[in-house]
Amino acid sequence: MSEFKEVTVTKAASVYFDGKVTSRKVTFNDGSFKTLGIMMPGEYKFGTNEEELMEITAGECEILLAGATEWQNISGGQSFGVPANSSFEVRAKTLIDYCCTYIS
Amino acid sequence: MSEFKEVTVTKAASVYFDGKVTSRKVTFNDGSFKTLGIMMPGEYKFGTNEEELMEITAGECEILLAGATEWQNISGGQSFGVPANSSFEVRAKTLIDYCCTYIS
């Protein structure tokens, strides 16, 4: 899906890691929401509350899930899941355009 | 307005200046659209096709309109207009969160 229709989008961005990671929230009619975000090249660790589906829309990164020992290569067009109340690390080798779906 | 309702938002970001400027397009029911974007600190020059209203949602920058000789200080919460088929320069002193409205 290249666009999201009949949604509400927040005007202000959420800013993390001194602005190297930014995102905006997109809320659907059923109350579910996603964030559309950008990561500049760099290394980041994120915590989760809900379960998340992270889709890498564009870019190249490596990710490490909590408890895992091997980094996985993820390229634009690929996704990975993260359990609730967990964490994951990202090594963004390029600019990353992502879409995160929160699963409650 | 802190959010835009009943809109269509593009999933993929538009990327400019090696990712230092990124934006996503928000389209309204009447066909008008805005872009919600981020500029990392730096200096940028943009061209316009349509007339634009640039709202700086957060951050501090200086701007110079085509033909002007004095830079203007613009802070979060302030806006400036740019004519169609023109250009403007931005010196982003901090991360800039912006909302650009295209007026046709």
Domain borders along chain A are 8-103
Contacts of A97 in chain B (CB under 8 A): 12-13, 15, 22
Report the top-level CATH class of B8-103: mainly beta
Compute the nearest-CA separation of B4 from chain A (Å).
5
Q: Could you read off the pLDDT of B12-34 as tens digits, one per residue?
A: 999 999 999 999 999 999 999 99
Q: Could you read off the pLDDT of B73-87 as tens digits, one per residue?
A: 999 999 999 999 999
Q: Could you read off the pLDDT of A42-88 as tens digits, one per residue?
A: 999 999 999 999 999 999 999 999 999 999 999 999 999 999 999 99
DSSP assignment, residue A84?
T
Which candidate from B2, B8, B15 shows the least CB-CB separation from A10? B2
Contacts of A40 in chain B (CB under 8 A): 19, 40
Q: What residues of chain A, 13 to 52, have a C-beta less than 8 Å from chain B?
A: 13, 15, 18-19, 22, 24, 26, 36, 38, 40
In this complex, is the C-beta atom of B1 within 8 Å of any C-beta atom belonging to chain A? yes
DSSP assignment string, B22-82: EEEEEE-TTS-EEEEEEE-SEEEEEE-SSEEEEEEEE-EEEEEETT--S-EEEETT-EEEE
